[in-house]
Amino acid sequence: MNSSFYNGISGIKTHQFGLDVWAGNIANANKVGFKTSIPEFSTIYAQTMTASSLATPVANDIGTGSHMQASTVDFQQGSITKTENPFDLAINGEGWFGIVTPNGENLYTRAGLFNRDSEGYLTDAVGNFLVGTVTNNIKDGVVVDNPVKTVDLGAPEAQSKILLEENVTMPPVPTDKVTFKGSLNSKPIYQITQDNSKIEIANKESFQSTIINSDGTTGTLTLDFTKVVPQEIDKTVWKAKATLVDQDNNTISTKEGVLQFNDRGAMVSNSLTSIDNNGSEIKLNLGSIYDPNKPNSGFDGLFSYHSGEEYYAKSVTQNGKKGGDLTGYSVQDNGLIVAGFDNGDTIPVAKIALYHFRNNAGLEQSSPIYFKQTANSGVPSFYKDKDGHTINTATISSHALEKANISMATALTELIIMQKAFDASAKSITTSDQLIQNAINMKK
């Protein structure tokens, strides 16, 4: 039997496979995160008619058809398109999103079509859960005390579903420390009397800060300073009075003290260190006491300046924080999911896992946009530095999606090539049939 029959049949089968692959690529051209498949073929085997030798330096081999060898995946990145959904995510660079199916199967994808389900979990369109490292900053809808500010990915196998709760409140943090910095102007101020003589009058300075109470209400703390006159030559003395009022301007408490500064303006003593706030203490940090063995001591808070010296602006900071309600979530380019509150504060909630494989080509394609780990791909891992911190080899864009990486021009061209090759293989069968028919007719 003429082997061209078998060659033609194998060609039809092979190029039908190629047609199927390229048609599948075209069918998925608008699927987010889709990766183009490329059909690969190989010769079944070659029949050696004449081996190469000194007499015949070129071997005489006849091919016996082809067959489909593999359908490899092109993992090049697709173009990025912008969207309105903050949970539409696109990876710029290498890496895979990790997802867990409702049945607990681990899959990997570049399709970042995520949103919150009815329970608040980040899922894709078919209900698979996005995974990452989740903080414990929120418990039962309330932000915990001293929430962590940074998140590093844990072990690849320890990633979990990401829950973004709907109703979250941040309780107020009451003020227990207020820090004052700046200069007290001790330059003498004189007043002219009726007899044209002059007398020194007391300098006055004032600082003010809003403080936060444990119930979330606010109060106002005022520090008034009055310079003692006349002054001694080698020091400056200021009387201080702290007044704390509630939001209705009712006085809660007052306290007085004395501050002394040396001839250079450094604070050498302070007797006003705290004030009562309905039973709780608010520390008043006016700066350190001067110590000649400690650099900047006596000048890191309040200090006194004289004529000709530079003036420093006043500043007051307090460590309290207003309570707030959740306004929404956002995703940063390092994969950190942050909760924002109407008091202006933010806290990290989770960090999206970005997996890597030693051999992407070894992944098993379980559907057009989902892949499975295999022995050939290697285990999923995170890139880490020598200290165990995650190395970001890619960024994650929010409000963005990665489009399919297929080139329609290439796909349509390959489809035409496969069609022509299919037709040619079919033609080789009819041609071989005609040759056999001619041979049979020679007997007539």
CB within 8 Å of 269: residues ≥ 6 apart: 258, 259, 260, 289
The pLDDT score that the predictor gives to residue 33 is 92
The pLDDT score that the predictor gives to residue 340 is 96
* Band (76; pLDDT cuts 50, 70, 90): very high
Tokens for 15, please give them: 């190029």
Least confident of 12-16, 159-163, 217-221, 228-232: 12-16
The pLDDT score that the predictor gives to residue 307 is 58
Q: What is the mean pLDDT of the chain?
A: 87
* Cβ neighbourhood burial of 414 (10 Å; 0-12, 13-18, 19+): buried
* Total residue count of the chain as it appears in this document: 444
* Band (356; pLDDT cuts 50, 70, 90): very high
The pLDDT score that the predictor gives to residue 58 is 57
Percent of the residues in the chain that have a pLDDT greater than 90, as a whole number:
59
Q: Are 49 and 60 in contact (CB under 8 A)?
A: yes
Residue 260 pLDDT greater than 70, yes or no: yes
Give phi and psi for 17, each to the nearest 5: -60, -45
Q: Are 364 and 65 in contact (CB under 8 A)?
A: no
Q: Are 411 and 26 in contact (CB under 8 A)?
A: yes
The pLDDT score that the predictor gives to residue 378 is 95
Tokens for 424, please give them: 């040619």
Residue 189 pLDDT greater than 80, yes or no: no
Let me know the angle formed at the C-alpha of 380 by 368 and 31, rounded to the nearest 5 degrees.
20
* Band (18; pLDDT cuts 50, 70, 90): confident
228 by DSSP, 3-state: which? coil
pLDDT tens-digit profile of 283-328? 999 999 999 999 889 999 999 887 555 556 789 999 999 999 999 9
Residue 432 pLDDT greater than 80, yes or no: no
* Band (428; pLDDT cuts 50, 70, 90): confident
* Band (388; pLDDT cuts 50, 70, 90): confident
Residues 127-156, mean pLDDT to the nearest whole number: 93
Residue 68 pLDDT greater than 80, yes or no: no
* Paired sense of beta strands 302-305 and 177-185, if any: parallel
User: How large is the angle between the packed helices 408-441 and 3-27, nearest 10 degrees?
Assistant: 160
Residue 233 pLDDT greater than 60, yes or no: yes
Global model pTM greater than 0.85: no
Let me know the angle formed at the C-alpha of 312 by 309 and 316, rounded to the nearest 5 degrees.
150
According to the 3-state scheme, what is the secondary structure of 372-436?
ECCCCCCCCECCECCCCCECCCEEEEECEEECCCCCHHHHHHHHHHHHHHHHHHHHHHHHHHHHH
Q: Which of 316, 357, 383, 345 has the alpha carbon at shortest distance from 152?
A: 383
Residue 24 pLDDT greater than 90, yes or no: no
* Paired sense of beta strands 336-341 and 346-352, if any: antiparallel
The pLDDT score that the predictor gives to residue 410 is 84
Residues 120-139, mean pLDDT to the nearest whole number: 96
Least confident of 76-90, 159-173, 251-265, 382-396: 382-396
CB neighbour burial string for 228-246, b if at least 16 within 10 angstroms, e if fewer: eeebeeeebbbebebbbbb
Domain layout of the chain by residue ranges? 3-75+405-441, 80-169+330-402, 177-318
Residue 86 pLDDT greater than 90, yes or no: yes
Give phi and psi for 158, each to the nearest 5: -100, 10
Least confident of 87-91, 146-150, 217-221, 265-269: 146-150
The pLDDT score that the predictor gives to residue 331 is 97
Residue 361 pLDDT greater than 60, yes or no: yes
Residues 84-100, mean pLDDT to the nearest whole number: 96
Residue with the bigger pLDDT between 183 and 442: it is: 183
The pLDDT score that the predictor gives to residue 65 is 62
Least confident of 45-49, 86-90, 197-201, 300-304: 45-49
Give phi and psi for 210, each to the nearest 5: -80, 140
Residues 355-375, mean pLDDT to the nearest whole number: 94
Residue with the bigger pLDDT between 417 and 251: it is: 251
* Band (196; pLDDT cuts 50, 70, 90): confident
- Neighbour tally for 344: CB within 10 Å: 10
Long-range contacts formed by 417-424: CB under 8 A, 24+ apart? 418/15, 418/18, 418/19, 418/22, 419/15, 419/19, 421/11, 421/15, 421/18, 422/11, 422/12, 422/15, 422/16, 422/19, 424/11
pLDDT tens-digit profile of 50-67? 555 555 565 555 556 666
Query: Which contiguous run of DSSP H or E holds residue 251?
Result: strand 251-262
